[in-house]
A and B are shown apart, each in its own frame.
Chain A
Amino acid sequence: MSLLVVEDLVKTYPGRRRTPPVEAVRGISFTVEAGEFFGLLGPNGAGKSTTLGCLNTLVRPTRGRILLDGVDLTRNPLEAKRKIAVVPQTRNLDRDLTVREVLTFHGRYFGLPAAERESRADRLLAELQIAEKAGAKPLTLSGGQQQRLMIARALMHDPKIVLLDEPTTGLDPQARRLLWETLGSLHRRGLTFILTTHYMEEADRLCQRLAIVDHGRILTLDTPAALKKGLPGGQILDLWLKAKAPLAPRLSGLQGVMKIEPVAVDGDGEGTERLRLFVDRTDGLLDRVLHALRDAGADLQHVSLTPPSLEDVYIHLTGKELRE
C-alpha cells in the first residue's frame, strides 16, 4: 500500500460578507510511495499550498480522504502529526529560542528522550551546515540558513514524510542550489518528500513524479521525462511576430509541423503574437517556416528552437506561461 493516499480532496473556504467562497481544491487524488520525491507544480493560487495544508492538518478538508501510513488524517490528526514534518512557506522559527533550542524543543514537543534529542540536534546542525550558528537567534540567520534550520527542525522527530511548501522562494540562486543538493542527498537516504513549487527547474531537478495543478485540479501527473515526451514532436519552435492575417492555417500544412498553439503574451508586447509550433526537426524546416511567414507578410521579431521543457508541458496544458 502507498505511504500516502489522497482521495478526491476538496477544500472550499467559506465566504464572508463581501467575499464569495473560494474553491481552492476541487477534487484532487494522488498517491505517494515511500521513498518518493513527489511534486506539485503550478502557479500561485493553483491550490498547491491548500493541498499541502490539508496534508499537514492545518487546513480542514471540506471533503475527501487522506491516509498516511494507514492513519486517517482527519479522524486521527494526533497520530498523523507524529508522521508528518512541515517546512512551511513563511519562516516561522521560534524567535525567542536559540538555533539549537529550536531543534531540542521540537524534540521535546514530540517526546524524544533527552540523549536522543541532544545527539540528533548536533547531527542535524552539522549536516545542514548551521552548527556554527547553534547559539544564535534564528532571525539573525540568512534566508538560506533559516530554511536549512527549518529542514533540520522538520527532521528532528524522524518523520515518515516531509512536506516542503515552496522551500526556495526568496532565496538567492546560490542558496537555492545548496538547498537542492541538501534535499537530494536526504532523498537518496530514503526520505519521502512532497514539494510544492512554481519553479520548473526545481521540479525537474528534484521530483520523480510531478502533478501539474491549476484551478484546484490536477491537469496531469507523471515523471518529468514522460511529461516532456508526451508533447507532440521532438522540438519546440516559438515565434514572436506581428501578423495581419491568421498564420496557423498557412503553417499547419508544412512538413514537420505537428501542432500549433497560440500562447498568451502578457505585458507590453503590443500587437505581438506568440505562436508555438511543435515540430519534428527535418531538413529545411526553418526555411519552410520563414518562407511561409514572408508570404503572409508577417513581421517576425524573435525565434527560438528548443528541446521541450516542463515549462512547455505547462504551457501546452494551460495555454499560458507560468510566471515566476
Chain B
Amino acid sequence: MTAFLALLRRDLLVASRNAIPMVMATLTQPILVVLVFGNILPRLNLVAPEFRTVMVPGLMSITMMMAGVQGVLMPLVIDLSGSREVDERILAPISVLGVAFEKVVAGAIHAGLAGLLALPAMMLLMHRVGGVSVHPSWWALLPLIVVCGLLSAAFGLSLGTLVQPRFSGLLFAVVLGPLMLFGCAYYPWTGLSVLGVFQYVFLVNPLVFMSEAMRLAVTPDVPHMPVPLMLGGILGFTVVFTVFGARSFERKTIL
C-alpha cells in the first residue's frame, strides 16, 4: 500500500506540473463544441434550442473519456518505450497488478477533475443564451463521476497495452472518434428507440453508459436509461477493462 500511494503521489505531482497544458487539452473540445452547437447554430435556427441541454452531459462524458484515456495512455507509451521507465515501478515492492491499478486510479482522478471542470466551463459559455436546463444533483454526480473516471482510465489501460505506441495516433482516429459519435453524447439513448433493435447495438460502446450517467446527474428533464442497466454497464465495462488491461500490462512488463 505504501508503494501504491507513493506511485500515485508521483503521478499527481507530475500531472500538477503539467496542469496548464492538461487543462487546455481537456477543455478545448467541449468549449468549441458549445460555441458552435450551443451558440452559433441555435442562433441560425439550424438546431433546436433543446439540443443545448442534451449535449451538456454528453460533452462531460466525452471530456472524461478523453482525459481518462489520455491520462493513462500517454504515460504508458513512454513507460513501455525503449527506455523502460516502467521497470522502476515494477521493481518497487508492489505487485505488477498493483502498478497497473495505480495507473487506473491516477487516470480516474484526471478524468474526474476534467469532467468537473468541463461543466462550469460550458455553463459559463451558455449563461447568456436561454433554454439550457442543467440542474446538477451532486449526490448523484460525484459518485457517478468516480465510476465513470475509473471506466475511462481502465479503457485507457486496455488500449495502451494492446496498441503499439506507434499506432497511438491512429487509435484516436479509428477508435475514439467513432466511440464519441456513437456514444449517445449528442442524443439520449432512450430516443434511439426509433431505430428498433439497433438501439441495443449502441450498448457495445462504453461511452453510452457514461453519457447516460451524466444525463441522470445533471439534466433531470431529459429522459435517461434505466439506472440498473446504466450502473451494470459502467461497472461491467470497468471490471472487464481493468482485468484485461492489468493482465496485458503484466504480459508487456514481465518477460
Contact = CB atoms under 8 A, between A and B. Distances in A.
A105 B6 contact: yes
B91 A94 contact: no
Given A81-B92, A96-B14, A110-B92, A58 B7 contact: no
Interface residues of A, number: 30
Interface in A69-105: 77-79, 81-82, 84, 86, 88, 90-97, 105
Contacts of B123: none
A106 B88 contact: yes
B165 to A, nearest CB: 15
B193 interface: no
Contact of B10 (A57, A60, A84, A97): A97
Main secondary structure of the interface of B (DSSP, over half): helix
Contacts of A78: 93-95
A53 interface: yes
B83 A110 contact: no
Contact of A109 (B14, B87, B93, B255): B93
Contacts of A111: 2-3, 6, 93
A56 interface: yes
B93 A82 contact: yes
Contact of B255 (A53, A84, A95, A110): A53
A59 B250 CA distance: 11
A109 B83 contact: no
Interface residues of B, number: 27
B166 interface: no
A58 B95 contact: no
B190 interface: no
Interface in B240-255: 253-255
A205 interface: no
A94 B88 contact: yes
Nearest to A102: B88
B181 to A, nearest CB: 34
Contacts of A92: 83-88
Given A91-B83, A96-B17, A108-B9, A57 B91 contact: yes
Interface string B40-54: 000000000000000
13 contacts: A58-B91, A79-B93, A82-B93, A86-B87, A86-B91, A90-B82, A90-B84, A92-B88, A94-B10, A97-B10, A105-B9, A106-B88, A109-B92
Interface of B: 2-3, 6-7, 9-10, 13-14, 17, 78, 82-95, 253-255
